[in-house]
Structure 1
Amino acid sequence: MVTNTSEFIKFWSQFSHPIIMLATLLLLFYVLYLGLQLRYIRTSDKQIRKELIEKKNNNRHYQLGALLLNIIVLGNLGGMAITYVNNDKLFFSPHLLVGLTITGLVTTSTSLVPFMQKGNDLARHTHMILNFCVVILFSWQVISGIEIVQKIIENISITQG
């Protein structure tokens, strides 16, 4: 049973990271959609291109992509901090390693933006490949995170039961 404020925070903090990461997955899919719209603009005829440019998907893609970068980096650090605070150690697991890999891929992908703005197609293709890997890994990460949350709930049930 939760006895004081610090125990209350410690207990509920275990669930903040998974909730934020689930919301981040949804944001990730939306940013992907916007990126695909930008790709479609480059390959469509002038009339369709004009209509799509008016929607300003590029600004939303850049802004939400920057937000996504921050959430992923801070979410990774937060997840590790919460795990350490609650267990006095980090668990060396595929979930941790994939989380660190995602952080590296997202930061590398974002660093390509200045080159893409100058028309570098290699940077653009690399950006898309890295982000495709991020989507796959992040989807797996959410599934493995749900398994971790289930273990936490089981441990809570055992200690309270």
Structure 2
Amino acid sequence: MSGTFAFLRIPTTTVPIPSCSKSSDAHLLLPDDHQTKNAGLCSVKKLVLPLTTTLPFVLRPQDAFAAGGEFGILEGRSLALIHPVVMGGLFVYTLYAGYLGWQWRRVRTLQDEINQLKKQDDSQPELEPEPSPLQLQIQQLSEERKELIKGQYRDKHFNAGSILLGFGVFESIGGGVNTYLRTGKLFPGPHLYAGAAITVLWAAAASLVPPMQKGNETARNLHIALNVLNVLLFVWQIPTGWDIVLKVLEFTNWP
């Protein structure tokens, strides 16, 4: 019986478990095809840890977005806050552009005042030892005008208006697009209507520049009136914009 079992005993060969350790010599006992499989397993094993680490960020992007992550970072808080920051800066820049425009207007009106005073001055300077009060006023206005001319307010106002028009139109439309990306719709209301009106006023005021350059006083006065209305709408829009910022902070996540 024991001889029969000995005859039927099947020879076994111990195959070492593949190892990725460089210090082990067990892989020398394996055939070439086993070595190839072992190398492949080692490569896969090395990729497991990085993939495991990054999967939570890849598989759950919705945690960072407001509307489900369909548009990626475009729905995030960072992009949503760009609009109020830029528009706040443009509001201050609007006041600066208005100051530049008023200074340039002062340059033009001062010359008209000086011309009117000269018409009223009938004195003869060569016969009077001291200048008259009217002449002193003319000198004062002339000096003021010279200083204003040195400030180059005309060119500065033109450049400021161009920047304001470009960035203003771009960001006013960008704010609406961002709202649609985050929520899937727009919200008709005071903020949206006032923003659209401000954009139209920017374009209308800029369209008056050609007749203004030709000396059309009606166009100049209308330009000023449109920009004053623009500033008033801007001021009125700040509270509604602040309410929207608070909602963005509440319903969105970084980035």
Q: Same fold (TM over 0.5)?
A: yes
2:94: which partner in 1? 28
Equivalence map 1:144-155=2 (5 Å)? 144-155=240-251
Shift of residue 8 of structure 1? 3.6
Structure-2-length-normalised TM-score = 0.58
C-alpha separation in 2, matches of 1:42 and 1:143 = 37
Moved more, 6-15 or 35-44: 6-15
Alignment TM-score, normalising by the size of structure 1 = 0.90
Amino acid at match of 2:174: G
* Aligned: 1:15 with 2:77: no
Q: Output the amino acid matched with 2:75.
A: K
Q: What is the DSSP-based 3-state SS (H/G/I as helix, E as strand, rest coil) of the residue aligned with 1:106?
A: helix
TM-superposed CA distance for 1:46, in Å, is 2.5
User: Which segments of structure 1 move beyond 6 Å, counting only runs of 4 or more?
Assistant: none
Q: In the alignment, does 2:154 pair up with 1:91?
A: no
Structure 2: how far apart are the matches of 1:156 and 1:104? 30
Taking every aligned residue pair, what percent have the same amino acid on both sides?
38
Paired residues of 1:21 and 1:142 also in contact (CA < 8 A): no
Inter-partner Cα distance in structure 2 for 1:152 and 1:98: 19
Q: Is 1:62 aligned to residue 178 of structure 2?
A: no
1:9 CA displacement: 3.9
> What is the match of residue 103 of structure 2?
37
Measure the CA separation in 2 of the matches of 1:8 and 1:88: 15
Of 130-139 and 34-43, the range deviating more from structure 2: 34-43
The structure having more radius of gyration, on CA atoms, is 2
- Which structure carries more helix by proportion? 1
**Secondary structure of the structure 2 residue equivalent to 1:90:** coil
Per the TM alignment, residue 76 of structure 1 is displaced from its structure 2 partner at its CA by: 1.1
- What CA distance in whole angstroms lies between the structure 2 residues aligned with 1:53 and 1:155? 52
Equivalent AA in structure 2 for residue 38 of structure 1: W
Flag structure 2 segments of 5+ consecutive residues without an equivalent. Answer: 1-62, 111-140
- Structure 1 gaps of 5+ residues are none
User: 1:36 and 1:19 mapped to 2: Cα distance?
Assistant: 26
Q: Figure out how many residues of one structure are paired with residues of the other and give that number.
A: 157
RMSD of the TM alignment (CA)? 1.8
